[in-house]
Amino acid sequence: MSLSFQATNDLLISAKLTQRNMHPYYAHYGVDWQIETITAQIAHLENLDIVCDGSIIGIIRLAFDDQGCYIRDFQIEEKYQNRGMGALALAHCEIYAKQLGYQQLRLRVFQISPAIHLYERCGFTRDKAEDNFYYLSKQIG
């Protein structure tokens, strides 16, 4: 199976994936995120589609600063979850960030999200817990 990134062509479709995947967490924490809000908040990020064998199976949104590459959003379509796609996509993200000269990946995840296990398996460590989130990082340089 071949995995790659491509620039996101349709932010609305991409935002709908985030809304679909994150709905249980938004509902749990009482977050009322409308699709228009998500679309506006992601417009300034580097938005990439995750492509497997020619089909878009997820998205990753990145921001960059002096500390490294911040994974602002990472979603895999439900039917591709728990099949190793997330780990492959994170490995590709790490390669991409290294190619751009960054030495650290960072992200935050809801404390109730099962994705925390994926991130830890992929080498991320918990830096802190705050509010409803864990903040994680991984040295890549």
Q: For the chain, which domains are there?
A: 3-139 (3.40.630.30)
Cα separation, 135 vs 126, in Å, equals 6
Locus of tokens 């089909």? 55
- pLDDT of 111 reads 94
User: Mean of the pLDDT values across residues 63-87?
Assistant: 94
- pLDDT of 46 reads 96
- pLDDT score of 34 more than 90: no
- pLDDT of 141 reads 77
pLDDT in tens, 90-139: 999 999 999 999 999 999 999 999 999 999 999 999 999 999 999 999 99
- pLDDT of 29 reads 87
User: Mean of the pLDDT values across residues 51-59?
Assistant: 93
User: Mean of the pLDDT values across residues 15-43?
Assistant: 88
